């Protein structure tokens, strides 16, 4: 008998568990015959503290088959966790080489959903640098969804890092990833097949 699957969804910078993609993923899991459990934690702390919190969630669910989905900055964190634990991960317009954008990241930023102010410091950027994993040890653990119309991040950096064969490149679109709901069946087909389970 196969173990129950557990999906850890990591939202992006200044986003929320209330984001459209997160809610669509929750709804998909709830409708699925496979019945994967899903957790969408609020990511609001610095990188090191965030990873500690995510490791705690993973430890609580270590008896299950764990899968990762990460959007933007969440994709960066999902990459770190996938490399550390050997979990399959789907990344959506993932952040790559964040430390190259130091000037735009430093300072105060307002959360799109809660209006909370988040301060990014030099220490936070140094922590991100420590979490960077490149080159990847297990590149086939990843399936990466990018859109060429991403107005925030250069999709070519993701294709370069994760390799073209592990990427689905959609023309146009946006950083939010247009029509993500339509990709969800394929997302879970990849994740569940990676842990040896069927979608149904």
Domain boundaries along the sequence of the chain: 5-194
Contact 38, 26 (CB under 8 A): yes
Q: pLDDT band at residue 2, thresholds of 50, 70 and 90?
A: low
Quick one: fold of 5-194?
Rossmann fold (3.40.50)
The whole-number average pLDDT for the span 44-61 is: 96
Q: Against a cut of 0.85, is the pTM above it?
A: yes
Cis check for the bond before 135: say yes or no (omega within 30 of 0).
yes
Contact 8, 69 (CB under 8 A): yes
pLDDT for 200: 46
Answer whether residue 176 shows pLDDT above 90: yes
Backbone angles phi, psi at 81, to 5 degrees: -70, -40
Mapped to the 3 state alphabet, what secondary structure does the chain carry?
CCCCEEEEEECCCCCCCCCHHHHHHHHHHHHCCCCCEEECCCCCCCHHHHHHHHHHHHHHCCCCEEEEEEECHHHHHHHHHHHHHCCCEEEECCCCCHHHHHHHHCEEEECCCCCCEEEECHHHHHHHHHHCCCCCCCHHHEEEEEECCCCCCCHHHHHHHHCHHHEEEECCCCCCCCCHHHHHHHHHHHHHHHCCCCCC
The whole-number average pLDDT for the span 158-187 is: 97
The whole-number average pLDDT for the span 45-52 is: 94
The whole-number average pLDDT for the span 178-200 is: 89
Q: pLDDT band at residue 104, thresholds of 50, 70 and 90?
A: confident
Mean pLDDT of the chain: 93
Among 62-76, 102-116, 177-191, the range scoring the smallest mean pLDDT is 102-116
**Distance between CA 7 and CA 180 in Å, rounded?**
17
């Amino acid at each position: 008998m196969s173990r129950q699957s557990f999906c850890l969804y990591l939202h992006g910078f200044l986003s929320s568990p209330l984001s459209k993609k997160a809610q669509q993923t929750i709804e998909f899991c709830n409708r699925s015959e496979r019945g994967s459990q899903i957790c969408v934690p609020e990511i609001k702390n610095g990188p090191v503290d965030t990873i500690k919190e995510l490791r705690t969630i993973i430890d609580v669910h270590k008896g299950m088959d764990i899968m990762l989905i990460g959007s933007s900055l969440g994709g960066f964190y999902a990459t770190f966790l996938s490399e550390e634990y050997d979990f399959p991960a789907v990344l959506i317009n993932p952040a790559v080489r964040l430390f190259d954008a130091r000037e735009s990241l430093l300072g105060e930023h307002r959360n799109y959903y809660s209006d909370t102010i988040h301060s990014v410091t030099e220490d936070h950027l140094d922590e991100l640098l420590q979490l960077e994993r490149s080159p990847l040890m297990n590149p086939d653990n990843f399936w990466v969804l990018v859109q060429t119309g991403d107005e925030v991040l250069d999709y070519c950096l993701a294709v370069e890092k994760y390799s073209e064969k592990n990427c689905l490149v959609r023309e146009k679109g946006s950083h939010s990833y247009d029509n993500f709901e339509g990709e969800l069946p394929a997302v879970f087909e990849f994740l569940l097949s990676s842990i040896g389970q069927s979608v149904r």
